[in-house]
């Protein structure tokens, strides 16, 4: 009975050896494939990271160039593109903040210029009407009031208008135009001060 079992046992051993050998070979092949695949993925990731870094660098240089040339709209687009790619890129954030401030200053300066032009138109009309005033005394008081308006001393201008009413009450309708013009100038003067204050604040935030 024992001599009959020997070939069978040997056969089982040989089968196990072959199975284990095949498994080892398969494992080795799988391991080689995993390493190759990992290397391929790592290489791809590296290329993507390099491409992303280059794109950000190119956009940043372009944005900075636009900023220095005072083309703030184009600069803003470049820095926003960078933050779409990498929201944590701090240099783009800082430049974008500066762009927004610069644009705010430009807008405020534009409003200042518009306000100054409105004031200039009123003062030009004021001067024209003063020249055709038939009362020399009223004309003098109006000229003095105009100077006070230009200096922002509207309280003194009101006092001078009161003198005009007393000196020449028959020209009340004419004098009322100057009074209204003074109120308009006062309002515009206040807007001018507010815009200038805003500009100072914006410029201070850049320092």
11 belongs to a structural domain: no
135 belongs to a structural domain: yes
Q: Give Cα separations from 115 to 82, 105, 129, 183, 186 (angstroms).
A: 38, 15, 21, 14, 11
Torsion of CA 55, 61, 66, 70, to 10 degrees: 140
pLDDT number for residue 72: 92
202 belongs to a structural domain: no
105 belongs to a structural domain: no
The ranges of the chain with pLDDT < 70 are: 1-33, 36-39, 42-43, 207
Q: Say if CB 98 and CB 78 are below 8 A apart.
A: no
Digit-coded pLDDT (tens) for 53-106? 899 999 999 999 999 999 999 999 999 999 999 999 999 999 999 999 999 899
5 belongs to a structural domain: no
Here the tokens at position 154 are: 């509207």
The DSSP output letter for 134 is S
Q: Say if CB 56 and CB 82 are below 8 A apart.
A: yes
Alpha helices by DSSP H, listed for the chain, are 2-68, 72-85, 90-131, 136-150, 154-167, 172-205
188 belongs to a structural domain: yes
Domain carrying residue 151: 115-194
- Phi, psi dihedrals of residue 71, rounded to the nearest 5°: -95, 75
pLDDT number for residue 53: 87
What is the three-class DSSP state of 71? coil
144 belongs to a structural domain: yes
pLDDT number for residue 24: 54
The DSSP output letter for 149 is H
Alpha-carbon distance of 75 to 168, in angstroms, equals 61
Alpha-carbon distance of 49 to 57, in angstroms, equals 12
Maximal CA-CA distance, the chain: 151
CA angle 12, 15, 19 (to 5 degrees): 140
Number of domains in the chain: 1
């Amino acid at each position: 009975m024992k001599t009959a079992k020997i070939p069978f046992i040997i056969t089982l051993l040989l089968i196990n050896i072959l199975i284990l050998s095949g498994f080892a070979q398969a494992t080795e092949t799988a391991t080689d494939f995993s390493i190759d695949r990992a290397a391929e993925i790592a290489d791809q990731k590296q290329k993507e990271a390099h491409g992303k870094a280059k794109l950000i660098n190119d956009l940043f240089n372009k944005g900075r160039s636009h900023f220095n040339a005072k083309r703030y709209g184009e600069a803003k687009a470049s820095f926003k593109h960078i933050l779409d790619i990498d929201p944590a890129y701090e240099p783009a954030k800082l430049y974008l903040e500066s762009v927004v401030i610069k644009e705010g200053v430009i807008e405020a300066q534009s409003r200042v210029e518009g306000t100054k032009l409105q004031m200039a138109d009123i003062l030009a009309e004021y001067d024209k009407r003063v020249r055709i005033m038939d009362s020399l005394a009223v004309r003098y008081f109006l000229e003095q009031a105009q100077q006070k308006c230009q200096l922002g001393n509207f309280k003194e201008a009101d006092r001078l208008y009161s003198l005009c009413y007393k000196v020449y009450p028959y020209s009340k309708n004419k004098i009322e135009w100057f009074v209204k013009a003074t109120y308009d100038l006062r309002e515009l003067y206040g807007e001018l001060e507010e815009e200038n204050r805003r500009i100072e604040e914006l410029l201070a935030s850049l320092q």
